[in-house]
Amino acid sequence: MRRVDLHAYPGTAEWIDSQGPFVEALGKYWGREWLPQTEESVVAGFEEAGVEVVLVAFDIESVVGSPPCSNEYVAEFRDRHPGVVLQAWGAVDPHKGDAALAEAEHAVRDLGLLGFHFHPIMGRFAVDDPALAPLWETITSLGVPVMIDAGTTGMGAGIPGGLGSRISHAHPMSIDNLAAAFPDLTIVASHPGWPWIDEMTAVVLHKGNVFWELSGWAPKYFPESLQRDIRTRLKDKIMFGSDHPSMPYRRVLDEWSGLGYSDDLLGQIFHGNAERVLGL
């Protein structure tokens, strides 16, 4: 069965270094040292798992001062490994103002990226902030989707003050407000959205332009209500993501298979919905 992973970070030094002080916090959260891999080993891991990935660029330079894992980097990574790296999500730092708008246009028009990923907690913004309207107008005019993290994160978890990050920035209602204001913008919510899983479910069901990929959580821990909704009223909305390199592919794939879903439903989750909605 084809498996399209919508949420795979490069895992290389370029990505590790872009996170600044959050690297140490992530290591503590996941219980292992957060070390970079070589590009070759990353690609070999994708091939071994049998996944086609959409890489994720990363830019929180205004917050941490570290250079981003740039749009050029993920585009070149993609181009070096066709057939394994299917596409890439670009990243723009909303705090950069007009420069962010210019970078968004460059990422789509010149680099051919799929769309853009946003991490509101680490980036310290809410996507429904009125000040960001020019950015959403630009992205909507480019005709590309966005992927937005929802719910809490391991970034800064357990550290006094969470390194200044606020989980309220990733509340599903911010995505709901954005979807209402920009109905032509296709939005993929990332992660289950805990502790607001019910709220995220409501947003996905209510807004026709919002979809949901459930990366970053071990599937066996999905609440029973979410497991049931995936089988029924959410079956056309759910997509697969791993949050690589957070968890081993074998664990994620085995646990998805262990939920007892039919092959037809797993086909929708692993590739069908992404093909239909994102043209992958």
Query: In CATH, what number is assigned to the domain containing residue 172?
Result: 3.20.20.140
pLDDT per position as a tens digit, 208-217: 999 999 999 9
pLDDT at 201: 98
Query: Does residue 266 carry a pLDDT above 70?
Result: yes
pLDDT band at 164 (very low <50, low <70, confident <90, very high): confident
pLDDT per position as a tens digit, 66-115: 999 999 999 999 999 999 999 999 999 999 999 999 999 999 999 999 99
Query: Does residue 173 carry a pLDDT above 90?
Result: yes
pLDDT at 32: 67
Average pLDDT, the chain: 95
Tell me which long-range contacts 19-24 makes (C-beta under 8 A, separation of at least 24): 19/58, 19/60, 19/64, 19/66, 19/122, 19/155, 20/60, 20/63, 20/64, 20/65, 20/66, 21/64, 21/163, 22/64, 22/122, 22/155, 22/156, 22/163
Query: Does residue 28 carry a pLDDT above 90?
Result: no
What range defines the domain where residue 90 resides? 4-278
Q: Within 13 Å of residue 156, how many CA atoms lie on the same side as its CB? A: 19
CB atoms within 10 A of CB 97: 13
Percent of the chain with pLDDT over 90: 88
pLDDT band at 138 (very low <50, low <70, confident <90, very high): very high
Query: Does residue 39 carry a pLDDT above 80?
Result: yes
| Number of domains forming the structure of the chain | 1
Query: Does residue 23 carry a pLDDT above 80?
Result: no
Between the two ends of the chain, the Cα-to-Cα distance in Å is 15
Amino acid letter, residue 123:
G
pLDDT at 27: 67
Q: Is 164 left (phi over 0), alpha (psi -120 to 50) or beta?
A: left
pLDDT band at 153 (very low <50, low <70, confident <90, very high): confident
Query: Does residue 154 carry a pLDDT above 90?
Result: no
Kindly report the pTM of this predicted structure. Answer: 0.96
Tokens of 104: 């968004």
Tokens of 19: 């996170």
More confident residue, 29 or 222: 222
pLDDT band at 30 (very low <50, low <70, confident <90, very high): low
Tokens of 17: 């270094």
